[in-house]
């Protein structure tokens, strides 16, 4: 094993932060002197988790590639050209952020594969701990492939650790095969894991929630004739599966629920609130960029000397103004919607003078979902949501359709936001459209909107017809496979 990898595994025991390996292909590991003890199993699992908070994954790049194409955010005028390709839905195959999205998902999948392949053979540990660790690895592999299939469509499917270049030239798998693996992995994960909440880690409840989203993605893709989902057979059966697994979370997830305080959900120092099923956390105490996050600063506007006051005792300093709130999402909220009034601040103090930010100005109202009032210089903590309880509530509502259960679920979300109940008597299609719109408000800036528009076949209807964006061929429902990969892999 290479020395940098040994150091990364050792360091992973102390913190869940990224240790970037610039290697080809994705993380060769030797098992000759490893995977012998329970400590090795724990280190390998944490190494698998440590890819998630990388800047190139959930601490920045994933938000960039999923949020910029939507009506949620745009960019400051002097942002890089490759970023603007996502904002304008004209992403080229040689785009560096696109290549990064592909690369880091595969690094993560390979690390999960290593745990799945090797930890079951460690005899010197309890069966319960071994099952939990392997179950978490199955979840992580499923998450990476779920991201890949929703971003790129047909991609290579690798279920064994890549240990040589000969294994790198895999052909593309069908969407059907990829979704079959994701489903199987999440079912194994739910069987192997318990429901105990462990800081920064997943459990049975997370597997149920993600499985509900996987089933719903396929069901809605089939129902709306979204490109790529022709393979799906019985959409109604998949809606029923989505409802069952989402229902498991709502009824069997001890300690989970809707937080009555919207601001508390996104308090970076409250990582185990009732809403948090799984989030990727990065801590401000890291020693170098990559060990801490700058994601909050990407959303905060830049006004020299400005202080953004969030409450009588809480404020944040001026940021980078890189991700800029779009009028489309901001103006779509009802004026009384707490997800706007409480989670998208528009007041700024320069000295003692209060100024209201304009949604059409250079510095605009901004999301507080990633703010860290205790930042140290440019070092910030950040919690990037992967799966929230309210997300699962809305999955349950959409899967249930316009039934009493469906209405009760969506109305929980609307009532917390200070809105009236959804109109009764909607058709199934109209009800599900309303749920998807509710998801746009509830989960704004969290990396869900692009996938919701793609799976419901609404990219053109919403982004082009409603908001006037243009979409270049190859960017609507799946991004092109990066040129770097097609150059290296002749099977692509």
pLDDT digit string, tens, across residues 128-184: 999 999 999 999 999 999 999 999 999 999 999 987 777 778 899 999 999 999 999
pLDDT digit string, tens, across residues 309-340: 877 678 898 999 999 999 999 999 999 999 99
**C-alpha–C-alpha distance, residues 241 and 222, integer Å:** 15
pLDDT digit string, tens, across residues 462-480: 999 999 999 998 899 999 9
Name the band, by pLDDT with cuts 50, 70 and 90, for residue 304.
Answer: confident
The structure tokens listed for 15 are 């913190």
CA distances in angstroms from 36 to 18, 131, 135, listed in the order given = 24, 16, 19
pLDDT digit string, tens, across residues 251-288: 976 789 999 999 999 999 887 899 999 999 998 988 88
More confident residue, 164 or 119: 119
Across 104-128, average pLDDT: 97
pLDDT digit string, tens, across residues 210-235: 999 999 999 999 999 999 999 999 99
pLDDT confidence of residue 30: 54
pLDDT confidence of residue 445: 98
Across 411-435, average pLDDT: 98
Q: Measure the CA angle with vertex 143, ends 199 and 321; round to 5°.
A: 75
pLDDT confidence of residue 32: 65
pLDDT digit string, tens, across residues 38-91: 999 999 999 999 999 999 999 999 999 999 999 999 999 999 999 999 999 999
Across 351-379, average pLDDT: 92
Contact 308, 423 (CB under 8 A): no
- Burial code of 24-61, b = ≥16 C-beta within 10 A, e = fewer? ebbbbbebeebbeeeebbbbbbbbbbbbbbbbbbbbbb
Q: Where are the beta strands (DSSP E) in 20-152?
A: 73-75
Strand partners, 156: 172
pLDDT confidence of residue 312: 66
CATH 1.25.40.390 in the chain is located at: 3-269+478-488
Name the band, by pLDDT with cuts 50, 70 and 90, for residue 485.
Answer: very high
Residue 223's φ and ψ, nearest 5 degrees, are -60, -35
Strand partners, 279: 385
With a cut of 50, say whether residue 9 has pLDDT above it.
Answer: no
Mean pLDDT of the chain: 91
Strand partners, 282: 382
Q: Give just the sign of the alpha carbon dihedral 330, 334, 335, 338.
A: negative
What count of Cα atoms within 13 Å lies in the side-chain half-sphere of residue 372?
Answer: 27
With a cut of 90, say whether residue 345 has pLDDT above it.
Answer: yes
Across 96-104, average pLDDT: 98
The CATH classification number of 3-269+478-488 equals 1.25.40.390
């Amino acid at each position: 094993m290479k020395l940098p990898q040994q150091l990364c595994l050792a360091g992973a025991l102390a913190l869940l932060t990224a240790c970037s390996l610039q290697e080809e292909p994705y993380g060769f590991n030797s098992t000759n002197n490893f995977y012998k003890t329970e400590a090795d199993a724990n280190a390998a699992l944490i190494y698998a988790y440590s890819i998630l908070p990388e800047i190139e994954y959930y601490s920045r790049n994933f938000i960039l590639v999923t949020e910029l194409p939507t009506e949620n955010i745009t960019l400051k005028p002097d942002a890089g050209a490759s970023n603007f390709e996502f904002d304008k839905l004209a992403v080229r195959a040689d785009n560096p952020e696109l290549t990064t999205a592909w690369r880091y998902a595969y690094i993560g999948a390979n690390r999960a594969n290593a745990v799945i392949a090797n930890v079951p053979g460690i005899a010197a540990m309890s069966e319960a701990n071994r099952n939990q660790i392997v179950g978490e690895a199955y979840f992580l592999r499923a998450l990476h492939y779920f991201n890949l299939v929703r971003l790129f469509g047909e991609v290579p499917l690798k279920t064994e650790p890549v240990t040589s270049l000969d294994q790198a030239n895999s052909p593309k798998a069908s969407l059907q095969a990829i979704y079959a693996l994701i489903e199987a992995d999440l079912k194994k994960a739910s069987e192997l894991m318990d429901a105990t909440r462990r800081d920064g880690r997943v459990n049975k409840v997370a597997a149920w929630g993600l499985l509900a989203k996987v089933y719903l993605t396929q069901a809605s893709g089939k129902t709306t004739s979204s490109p790529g989902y022709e393979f799906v057979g019985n959409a109604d059966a998949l809606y029923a599966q989505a409802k069952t697994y989402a229902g498991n979370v709502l009824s069997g997830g001890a300690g989970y629920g809707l937080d009555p305080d919207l601001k508390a959900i996104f308090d970076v120092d409250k990582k185990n609130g009732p809403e948090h099923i799984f989030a990727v956390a990065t801590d401000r105490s890291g020693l170098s960029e990559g060990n801490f996050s700058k994601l909050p600063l990407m959303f905060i506007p830049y006004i020299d000397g400005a202080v953004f006051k969030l409450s009588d005792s809480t404020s944040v300093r001026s940021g980078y103004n890189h991700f800029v709130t779009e009028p489309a999402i901001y103006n779509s909220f009802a004026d009384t919607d707490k997800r706007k009034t409480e989670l998208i601040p528009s007041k700024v103090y320069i000295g003692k003078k209060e100024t209201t930010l304009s949604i059409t100005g250079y510095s605009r109202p901004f999301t507080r979902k990633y703010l860290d009032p205790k930042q140290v210089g440019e070092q910030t903590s950040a919690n990037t949501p992967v799966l929230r309880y309210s997300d699962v509530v809305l999955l349950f509502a959409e899967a249930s359709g316009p039934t009493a259960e469906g209405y009760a679920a969506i109305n929980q979300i609307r009532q917390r936001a200070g809105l009236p109940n959804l109109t009764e008597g909607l058709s199934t299609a109209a009800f599900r459209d309303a749920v998807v719109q509710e998801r746009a408000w509830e989960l704004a800036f969290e990396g869900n909107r692009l996938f919701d528009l793609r799976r419901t076949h609404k990219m053109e209807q919403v982004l082009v017809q409603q908001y006037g964006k243009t979409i270049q061929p190859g960017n609507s429902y799946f991004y092109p496979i990066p040129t770097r990969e097609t150059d290296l892999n002749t099977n692509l």
